[in-house]
Amino acid sequence: MTAVPADWIAVDWGTTHLRAYAMGAAGKLAEASSTEGMGSLGRDQFEPALLRLIEPWLGPGTTRVIACGMVGSRQGWVEAPYRATPCLPVDPAALLRIETRDPRLAVHLVPGLSQSQPADVMRGEETQIAGALAWMRNFDGVLCLPGTHSKWVQVSAGEVVSFHTCMTGELFALLSTQSVLRHGIGEGWDEAAFQTALSDTLSRPERLASRLFSLRAEGLLAGLPPATARARLSGLLIGMELAATKPYWLGQPVALIGAEALSQTYASALQTQGITARILPATECTLAGLAAAQEVK
């Protein structure tokens, strides 16, 4: 890796991956990543893992590192306590400074957000929300962050007012790889099948359990193509999510933050309900959020 002196370093540290960015006055100077996510590290392994990735960017003095994500979870490097909503998505004054053995590091963790009623938490998404609001000044509406645990977030006056989490991505992974449905789920996509399943669950969400098993039965009896089964499973689950979160998106401006393909799928689903969602780039939102977090007020 080429040595690039960084003014500060932005870190997105999730369960399975570590991503770091050397930042300067003009923005991103360099980036690096590894598979040393939170889930594979003990408490004493975080600092060495970070140094393996960012050492070429460190100068002789102290470099500020701003990290978000699961690195601040209870199982992470150090637990960064949640901040209760309603609140700003990130607050430079709330960063948690952690002790390091290497004097060149000044590591600060971005706390996640919590909600008491109904109980909910997020960690990492708050930084993307802050980045999105830096992109969309004066945005009042709803941000959807699709993924393993999709977040629907109501924002107003620059604050997170409330949010709602759906385990749609995790359910899709479990059902498609560990349930009886795994025998009929394959790669590929069938947009018409997705839209039909989406509409079916949105109109009658109580039928979800039986509609899921019909994927297996139709595969056995009628040779349902694996790509069609995959699209239908996605449509059924996203339809369930949209039915559960209707109070959030109905009649509201909506922006999506996530992987491009998944965001496009959610945008297509919302379009059927008359909602034209704006898609924002996830990495850029994360970096803008970390930049907002590291600004000294």
Concatenate the DSSP letters of all residues of 190-253 into one string: -HHHHHHHHHHHHH-GGGHHHHHHHHHHHHHHH---HHHHHHHHHHHHHHHHHHHTHHHHTTS-
Q: What does the pLDDT look like over 10-58, one tens digit per residue?
A: 999 999 999 999 999 889 999 999 999 999 999 999 999 999 999 999 9
Q: Which residues 6+ apart lie within 8 Å of 48 measured at CB?
A: none
**pLDDT at residue 2 greater than cutoff 80:** no
Mean pLDDT over 268-285 rounds to 96
Q: What does the pLDDT look like over 115-135, one tens digit per residue?
A: 999 999 999 999 999 999 999
The pLDDT of residue 269 is: 97
- Say whether pTM exceeds 0.85: yes
What confidence category does residue 3 fall into, taking pLDDT thresholds of 50, 70 and 90? Answer: confident
Q: What does the pLDDT look like over 55-93, one tens digit per residue?
A: 999 998 999 999 999 999 999 999 999 999 999 999 999
Average pLDDT for the chain:
96
Q: What does the pLDDT look like over 187-224, one tens digit per residue?
A: 999 999 999 999 999 999 999 999 999 999 999 999 99
What confidence category does residue 272 fall into, taking pLDDT thresholds of 50, 70 and 90? Answer: very high
The pLDDT of residue 87 is: 98
Distance CA 203, CA 201 (A): 5
The pLDDT of residue 236 is: 98
Taking alpha carbons only, the member of 162, 68, 66 closest to residue 121 is 162
Quote the longest CA-to-CA distance of the chain: 69
Mean pLDDT over 167-175 rounds to 97
The pLDDT of residue 288 is: 96
The pLDDT of residue 295 is: 77
